[in-house]
Amino acid sequence: MFYSLKSRLIAIFIILFVLSFGALSAVLFNASRAIILSYIESSALEKMEEYGSYVDMVQMQIYDVASLVFNNKTTREWDAAMSDEGLPAGEKMLANLAMSAFLTQATNSYSSVQRVTVYRESGMWISADNQVEQDIDFLAEEWYKAFVQEGHRWVSGHADPVEARFNSTNPVVSMVMPIGTFEPTHAVSFMKINVSTDYFLQPLDRIHLGQTGSIYLLDQEGAPLLAQHGFAASDGDSRELLIQDIKKDKRKQGVIYTNDASGDKEIVVFKKLKRTNWMLVGIVPESDLYAEENARAWFNYWAKAAADGGVVTPELAVSHPIDDPSKSLITSGKAAMNLIPSNQLGAYQSLTEDPLTMVQLPRGPKGTGVVFESSQGLSGYAKTEHPKEVAMLMSFFINDPEAALILGNNRGVPVTSKNRSVLEAEANDVDKIVYDYTSRVSEAAETEPFAVSYNPPGFAEFEKLGKTTVQEIGFGRKNVEEAVQDFYKGAVSIFNSNQ
């Protein structure tokens, strides 16, 4: 019966799989790389969203202080007193002290604000704690000239001489606002609100992208606001061109692939903040896709889960291999759940009297974490002399009801609704569970997008290395750090030899 339709179908499948594997290897490797890229990008944007909310909160406090000072009666009376040339010096000093007391109260009301200082163009400034000074030095400072001449209200990280009077040497980020008018060029008095750069940096320094990547807070022109290392003019034209690309990009957030000044590939993730057009820019070297730190995080997670009883003992895992239904921890009654391909449910159910079902993996707030994957592929030679016949053969496997009946569910549920209906009409109870499960996965895919995963060339060796590493940790032959180092070296060797 070798020439039966069923035998010929199986033979063709084997031939197609073997012939197409070499061609698919490069595609699968690139797809795997794309998945890791997608993970880093989504992780970066998620972290940026959280930090962006924090920056928005700080900005709101700054604007609230500015509004409080701008609209307060004490401020108006002080500004009028300073403008009254006939007012005695003693009364002016009383107005200054009242203003200082008000600034002390205003500053203490907001946790993010380090200091509020009001200035007069005559060279006088007033701050909290009865600080009243006649000092024209600020008139020559860059932030003042940028405010008066160009209307720039935000000042990136800088040393403020007023802060030095309070024994504070930390740089500050500031917002400068006019008093009594909205136009800087018409202002006689204005306020400067300082926030320590540490207030922005501390939460930002806890955010890491990959092993060596960082996130930078830039102003609307692309200049670093916090004097962070790693994003400076020393990087030359590459950084300037990158900023121009981000500013021209109409998206509010996105990803750009570029090269640094040395020519090394980088992944750049950006997010534009609404209130001030500041930008969060995350830069990750592409080499971080394969960083040792990723392996360390996973194996530490696994080791903790094992120590807490969250996974089976290594002895049970070795004696009950996950890919053998007859020895499975599920069919032997030693575990409540397991990960299997959906088309294997029948094999598992036949080995136990306990009813089995299929559920989607939870993924927290994001829903579930299951996606359709093909168990094999059909491909045709692009330069074939018989393209019509190749298309007919593929169509037969995909669309013909007779082929669907012969293949059944052994290689997965048919992709066409027509052929699924053919099989559902003859489905047993186990098959119905599979069909119901795949329908739920299909529906979830519409609202819970999830990246398809592919096995890169050398995956069989890589998978074996991963299992061995888990066993070495589980049986105590290596600690996590030793195991991670050996695993990473082995993984790099495997993938280098399969390029």
The burial of 37, by beta-carbon neighbours within 10 Å (0-12 exposed, 13-18 middle, 19 or more buried), is given as: middle
Please name which of 488, 32, 39 lies closest in space to residue 292, comparing C-alpha atoms.
Answer: 488
Output the pLDDT for position 427: 83
Output the pLDDT for position 144: 92
Output the pLDDT for position 305: 86
Per-residue tokens: 402: 């007779």
Torsion-angle region of residue 235: left (phi > 0), alpha (psi -120 to 50) or beta?
alpha
- Using an 8 Å Cβ cutoff, are 213 and 283 in contact? yes
> Is residue 308 helix, strand or coil?
coil
Rounded to the nearest 10 degrees, the angle between the axes of helix 459-474 and helix 292-307 is 40
DSSP 186: G
Q: CA-to-CA distance for 379 and 375, rounded, in angstroms? A: 14
Q: In CATH terms, is domain 48-54+201-289 a member of 3.30.450.20?
A: yes
Output the pLDDT for position 13: 44
Rg (CA), the chain: 33
Kind and range of the H or E run holding 491 = helix 480-497
Which residues are CB-contacts of 350 (< 8 A; sequence separation ≥ 6)? Answer: none
- Using an 8 Å Cβ cutoff, are 184 and 151 in contact? yes
Question: Where in the chain are the domains?
Answer: 5-44+292-497, 48-54+201-289, 72-196
What fold does the segment set 72-196 form as a domain? Beta-Lactamase (3.30.450)
Q: Give me the residues paired with residue 127 across strands.
A: 131
Q: CA-to-CA distance for 225 and 235, rounded, in angstroms? A: 17
- Establish whether domains 48-54+201-289 and 72-196 are of one fold: yes
Full pLDDT tens readout for the chain, 499 residues: 444 544 444 444 444 444 333 333 344 344 445 555 666 677 778 888 888 889 999 999 999 999 999 999 999 999 999 999 899 999 999 999 999 999 999 999 998 999 999 999 989 999 998 999 998 999 999 999 999 888 889 999 999 999 988 888 889 999 999 998 888 888 899 999 999 999 988 888 777 776 677 888 988 888 888 866 656 544 556 677 888 888 888 888 888 888 877 778 888 889 998 878 899 988 888 777 667 777 888 888 888 888 888 888 888 888 888 778 888 888 888 888 888 888 888 889 999 999 999 998 887 666 777 777 776 778 888 899 999 999 999 899 889 998 888 888 777 778 788 888 888 888 889 888 988 888 888 888 777 766 666 677 888 898 899 889 988 998 999 999 999 999 989 988 998 888 7
Residue by residue, DSSP assigns 366-401 as G-B------SS-----TT-S-HHHHHHHHHHHHH-H
Architecture in CATH of 5-44+292-497? 3-Layer(aba) Sandwich (3.40)
Q: Give me the residues paired with residue 265 across strands.
A: 259
Q: CA-to-CA distance for 480 and 303, rounded, in angstroms? A: 8
Pairing verdict, β 279-285 and 265-272: antiparallel
Q: CA-to-CA distance for 475 and 485, rounded, in angstroms? A: 17
Q: CA-to-CA distance for 248 and 241, rounded, in angstroms? A: 11
Max CA separation in the chain (angstroms): 117
Which contacts of 61-68 are long-range, i.e. CB under 8 A and separated by 24 or more positions?
Answer: 61/110, 61/111, 61/112, 61/113, 62/112, 62/113, 62/175, 62/193, 62/195, 63/175, 64/110, 65/106, 65/107, 65/109, 65/110, 65/113, 65/116, 65/193, 66/175, 66/177, 66/191, 66/193, 68/106, 68/109
- Using an 8 Å Cβ cutoff, are 152 and 81 in contact? no
pTM assigned to the model = 0.58
- Using an 8 Å Cβ cutoff, are 172 and 197 in contact? yes
Output the pLDDT for position 289: 64
> Is residue 74 helix, strand or coil?
helix
